[in-house]
Amino acid sequence: MPTIKILNVGNLRPEDRVVEVEAGKPLMWALWEKGVPIRHNCGGNAKCTTCRVVVHEGEVPEMNPAEKERLEASKLRNVRLSCQLPVLGDMRIDIINLLTYEEMDEWKAEGR
């Protein structure tokens, strides 16, 4: 299983700073399922950019059209939308927007 190392740890618990995730899943959902409180206001539909990450190391595919269009429209550079980015292998990343753990619990209770 690929290992994701989060460099800008913010309010992350120590056990959430390096996580093993399922290959092939969108990075955002892979992290969320492991308990990493990554913000994703649009629910993973390439509409909001809140899930964006900086990839410092790791193999990443070309952007799909939805990701490319959203990032260009938002004039964001050097970031990727983690909801559109499949995990291909180990990565070292910064997460730009983290929820608190309390907010994550609320989102999960709401089915987000």
Kindly list the residues in this chain that would bind ligand FES in the complex (CB under 6 A): 28, 40-42, 44-51, 81, 83
In the complex, the smallest distance separating the C-beta of residue 56 from ligand FES, rounded to whole angstroms, is 19
Look at strands 91-95 and 18-20 and give their pairing: unpaired
Q: Which residue, 14 or 73, is less far from ligand FES as judged by CB?
A: 73
Choice between 3 and 50, CB closer to ligand FES: 50
Smallest separation, CB 87 to ligand FES (Å) = 15
Instruction: Name the minimum Å distance from CB 40 to ligand FES.
Output: 3
HSE (side-chain half, CA atoms, 13 Å) at 1: 13
Report the helix count and the strand count for the chain, using DSSP H and E: 3, 5
Rounded to an integer, what distance in angstroms lies between the CA atom of residue 79 and that of residue 88?
A: 17
Q: List residues bridging with 93 in a β-sheet.
A: 6, 55
Nearer to ligand FES, 39 or 58 (CB): 39
Residue 15 or 77 with smaller CB distance to ligand FES: 77
DSSP three-state, residue 89? coil
